[in-house]
């Protein structure tokens, strides 16, 4: 069974300064009437009426700051929402419940959850939100701020389990969307899911970004070694590719300039030596051949 939703409707209010002036005028006139009264009964009717008018004028006054609204209810029935700023006046029988329209930050706790590959990770996010529909926020959920906290945690958990932490072995142009590298896509996905979940509460999501993302402590060391190994492999692959290119250039230059004629065996020996020199992590110590070219 779906809950019936409430929609905000605007309501107009009067100036509170005018109501304050009326209240002061009624008090002054009531005092003068009592001073000039000749009879007890006849002299009290006008002051009492003026006093009631002043009381209604005073009790109906309320003040709204910028980016603040007042939800007006009459005996439990929603009357409307007043977004006018300053000193306002409305029916004194109306209950005025103020609600902030300002943008607010909510920083979630660090949550431990498994990513798409099943690796335990820690994740947290900061969410910037504001009240869009005051009636929905006040009437359609029990506590809209608590509702935001619970639904935000649920959305963050769902986001973390929908994407892998990093590319792993699938790096390159066709790599999947990941939590660590695809910042724009992850932000959009989190914002869209939060907007959908918080629509019933009349909440508008201004922005949502991850503030903490890391492997869980129990696997952080292993994953760090894996990342280091991947970085080393990538670096060595680049070094080998460059070394092969340089060896090819050297053999081609010797052949074109006819500096020396090398058979296949000597070419293989030269290629081996050059690759050792170019790919070694430390400086290579040369070994000088004391013999002649032909033994």
Helix pair 183-197, 144-162: axis angle to 10 deg:
140
CA distance 56 to 14: 13
- Give every CB contact of residue 280 below 8 A, 6+ residues apart in sequence: none
**Strand partners of residue 152:** none
Q: Indicate the DSSP class of residue 181.
A: T
Model pLDDT, residue 98: 94
Taking 70 as the pLDDT cut, the residues of the chain under it are: 1-4, 37-43, 168-175, 219-223, 225-234, 258, 260, 262-264, 275, 277-295
Closest listed residue to residue 83, CA positions, set 60, 95, 67, 62: 67
Closest listed residue to residue 83, CA positions, set 66, 95, 61, 62: 66
Report yes or no: 35 and 108 within 8 Å, Cβ to Cβ: no
Model pLDDT, residue 255: 73
C-alpha Rg value of the chain to the nearest Å: 39
Read off the tokens for 165.
Answer: 């932490």
Model pLDDT, residue 1: 39
CA distance 37 to 112: 79
* Residue burial 221-256, b: 16+ Cβ < 10 Å; e: rest: eebeeeeeeeeeeeeeeeeeeebeeebeeeeeeeee
> Would you give the end-to-end CA distance of the chain in angstroms?
98
**What are the extents of the domains in the chain?**
14-99, 104-215, 220-279
pTM given for the model: 0.68
Architecture field, domain 104-215: 2-Layer Sandwich (3.30)
Look at residue 68 and give its three-state secondary structure. strand
Give the CA distances from residue 60 to residues 23, 55, 244, in Å, rounded to whole numbers and listed in that order.
Answer: 11, 8, 87
Q: Indicate the DSSP class of residue 73.
A: E
Model pLDDT, residue 89: 93
User: Per-residue pLDDT tens for 138-174?
Assistant: 999 989 999 999 999 999 999 999 998 877 655 555 6
Model pLDDT, residue 64: 93
């Amino acid at each position: 069974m779906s809950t019936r939703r409430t929609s905000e409707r605007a309501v107009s209010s009067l100036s509170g300064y005018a109501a304050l002036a009326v209240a002061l005028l009624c008090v002054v006139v009531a005092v003068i009437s009592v001073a000039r009264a000749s009879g007890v009964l006849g002299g009290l009717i006008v002051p009492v009426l003026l006093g009631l008018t002043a009381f209604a004028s005073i009790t109906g006054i309320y003040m709204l700051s910028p980016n603040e609204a007042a939800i007006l209810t009459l005996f439990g029935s929603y009357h409307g929402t007043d977004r006018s700023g300053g000193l306002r006046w409305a029916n004194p029988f109306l209950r005025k419940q103020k609600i902030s329209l300002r943008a607010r930050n909510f920083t979630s706790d660090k949550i431990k959850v498994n990513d798409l590959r099943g690796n335990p990770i820690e994740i947290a996010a900061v969410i910037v939100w504001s009240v869009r529909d005051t009636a929905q926020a006040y009437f359609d959920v029990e506590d809209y701020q608590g509702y935001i906290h619970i639904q935000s945690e649920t959305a963050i958990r769902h986001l973390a389990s929908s994407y892998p932490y990093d590319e792993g072995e699938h790096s390159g142009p066709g790599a999947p969307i990941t939590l660590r590298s695809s910042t724009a896509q992850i932000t959009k996905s989190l914002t869209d899911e939060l907007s959908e979940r918080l629509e019933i509460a009349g909440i508008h999501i201004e922005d949502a970004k991850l503030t903490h993302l890391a492997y869980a402590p129990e696997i952080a060391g292993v994953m760090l070694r894996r990342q280091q190994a991947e970085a080393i492999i990538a670096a060595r692959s680049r070094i080998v590719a460059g070394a092969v290119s340089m060896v090819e250039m050297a053999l081609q230059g010797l052949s074109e300039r006819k500096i020396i004629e090398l058979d296949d065996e000597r070419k293989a020996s030269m290629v081996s030596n050059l690759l050792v020199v170019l790919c070694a992590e430390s400086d290579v110590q040369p070994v000088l051949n004391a013999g002649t070219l032909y033994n």
